[in-house]
């Protein structure tokens, strides 16, 4: 009996005029995020092909099983299974933050499996090496303190503070953003999954995995906000050196969430990358 993958996948593009079903875009959000992150890009991508907006296991509207498997390696395995299950071809994996790290690991899995479904990567503020964890992730390693803070402040206030701490323009954070990212944390399962993922956010064997980035042969766009305080620009510059076919683009006056902070400007960069790297 086939077991459903613990993902929430929303598909766009097949019935849209001007769409090109030969290209498939799989979008992976960051820690504590959801497919809501991509609302500024999804209409543009849907005109270019098939779009799969993924709420990763434990986040957004995805299932939140209490199985302890919430590491980036677990997420990458699920992405591989999703591509296999739906027989996706000509895939551009688009990942933000944690989702970008998952995209990198998914590409390495393809190398190991000797398959070629992924043809491009778009990595937005993606972690790839050991670094200092931001405070809102580090708290997951202190569950008692996390619980006390949640009770004292409430999820909405914590999310508001977290978003404002990672963007360039704090005044631009909307109530819509706060609502969207708070909603999944209002349940016990949602909070437990968030803390599980935070505790496991550094994948086992990360140093060895990062040494293999040179094996990823597809074109890669690295998109960074210069003022990113979560995954600093130096990480992007190191990835640009280690990935053989990577280009890095830097957005000024932008923090950790380019698709939300500068949706049109960031999309123009992605569009230029796609036009310059057609899938033949």
* C-alpha separations of 95 from 103, 104, 194 in Å: 6, 9, 18
Mean pLDDT value of segment 250-259: 98
Picking from 91, 84, 85, 96, the residue whose alpha carbon sits closest to that of residue 26 is 91
Picking from 177, 175, 200, 187, the residue whose alpha carbon sits closest to that of residue 150 is 187
Copy the structure tokens of residue 172. 């631009």
Q: How confident is the model at residue 14 (pLDDT cuts 50, 70, 90)?
A: low
- Is residue 170's pLDDT more than 90? yes
Q: Percent of the chain, pLDDT > 90?
A: 81
Picking from 64, 25, 27, the residue whose alpha carbon sits closest to that of residue 47 is 25
d(CA 64, CA 79): 16
d(CA 105, CA 144): 31
Burial of 145: CB neighbours in 10 Å, binned 0-12, 13-18, 19+: exposed
Copy the structure tokens of residue 66. 């209490």
pLDDT 10s digits, 206-229: 999 999 999 999 999 999 999 999
Pick the residue with more confidence: 44 or 135? Answer: 44
The answer to whether the predicted template modeling score (pTM) of the entire model surpasses 0.85 is: yes
Burial of 111: CB neighbours in 10 Å, binned 0-12, 13-18, 19+: middle
Domain ranges of the chain: 8-133+202-276
Copy the structure tokens of residue 126. 């993606």
122 SS3 class: strand
Picking from 276, 275, 261, 278, the residue whose alpha carbon sits closest to that of residue 124 is 261
Q: Percent of the chain, pLDDT > 70?
A: 92
8-133+202-276 classified as CATH 3.40.50.1820:
yes
Residue 152 is predicted with a pLDDT of 66
């Amino acid at each position: 009996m086939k077991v459903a993958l613990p993902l929430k996948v929303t598909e766009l593009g097949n019935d849209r005029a001007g769409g090109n079903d030969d290209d498939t875009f799989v979008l992976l959000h960051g820690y504590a995020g959801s497919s809501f992150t991509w609302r500024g890009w999804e209409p543009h991508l849907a005109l270019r092909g098939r779009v799969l907006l993924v709420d990763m296991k434990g986040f957004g509207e995805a299932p939140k099983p209490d199985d302890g498997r919430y590491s980036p390696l677990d997420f990458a395995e699920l992405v591989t299974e999703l591509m296999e299950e739906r027989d996706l071809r000509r895939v551009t994996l688009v990942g933000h933050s944690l989702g970008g790290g998952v995209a990198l690991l998914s590409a390495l899995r393809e190398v190991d499996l000797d398959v070629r479904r992924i043809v491009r990567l778009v990595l937005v503020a993606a972690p790839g090496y050991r670094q200092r964890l931001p405070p809102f992730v580090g708290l997951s390693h202190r569950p008692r303190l996390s619980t006390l803070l949640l009770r004292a402040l409430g999820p909405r206030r914590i999310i508001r503070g977290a978003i404002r701490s990672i963007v360039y323009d704090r005044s631009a954070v909307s109530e819509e953003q706060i609502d969207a990212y708070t909603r999944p944390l209002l349940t016990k399962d949602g909070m437990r999954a968030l803390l599980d993922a935070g505790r496991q956010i550094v994948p086992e064997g990360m140093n060895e995995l990062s040494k293999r980035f040179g094996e990823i042969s597809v074109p890669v766009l690295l998109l960074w906000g210069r003022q990113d305080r979560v995954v600093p620009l130096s990480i992007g510059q190191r990835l640009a050196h280690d990935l053989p076919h990577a280009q890095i683009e830097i957005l000024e006056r932008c923090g950790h969430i380019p698709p939300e902070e500068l949706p049109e400007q960031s999309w123009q960069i992605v569009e230029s990358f796609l036009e310059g790297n057609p899938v033949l």
